[in-house]
Structure 1
Amino acid sequence: MSSNLCSGVGNKLAWPELVGEQVSVAVATIHRENSYVQPVVIPEGIPLISLEYRCDRVRVWVEGSIVSRVPYVG
């Protein structure tokens, strides 16, 4: 997760404070703090996801309705 790789997509690239938060709060926070990226909610246990690195995406991993991993750009 390199900040140089995604320069120009806002100042905030990771949200460690959202682990344990409700997914709706996390998505709203990400939108508010970096309007250049789109949060994508992914349930834990999904076996296949795209491995491409995208500077306009934040994966938000969830267990139920709770964020389970640090969301970050990529």
Structure 2
Amino acid sequence: MASKCAGPKTSWPELNGVEGSIAKATIEKENPNVHVILVWPVMEAASSDLDCTRVLVILDYHGHVVGTPKVG
């Protein structure tokens, strides 16, 4: 399903497996319209509300990105 959020970039599949702080910096550089929230380790803190100014980056127990970070 396509995101209803528009922007210079809305998805970062290339960051899967990257260290969290590097992923955060990359996302904020590539889309300055969003803020990044690092979610440690894969927990149910994700909101189902659509927010086009947010990117939730889910991390594993080692601090690496799990899945594809997306705006929303």
In the superposition, the TM-score normalised over structure 1's length comes to 0.84
Change (3 A) 1:34 1:59: same
RMSD: 1.5
Equivalent runs, 1:1-74 vs 2, <5 Å? 2-3=2-3, 5-7=4-6, 10-63=7-60, 64-74=62-72
Question: What is the total number of aligned residue pairs between the two structures?
Answer: 71
Which is richer in strand? 1
In the superposition, the TM-score normalised over structure 2's length comes to 0.86
Change (3 A) 1:68 1:45: closer
List gaps (5 residues or longer) in structure 2: none
Q: Quick one: distance in 2 between partners of 1:32 and 1:45?
A: 24
List gaps (5 residues or longer) in structure 1: none
* Moved >3 Å (runs of 4+): none
Identical amino acids, percent of aligned pairs: 38
Of the two, which has the highest radius of gyration? 1
Instruction: Output the amino acid matched with 2:49.
Output: E
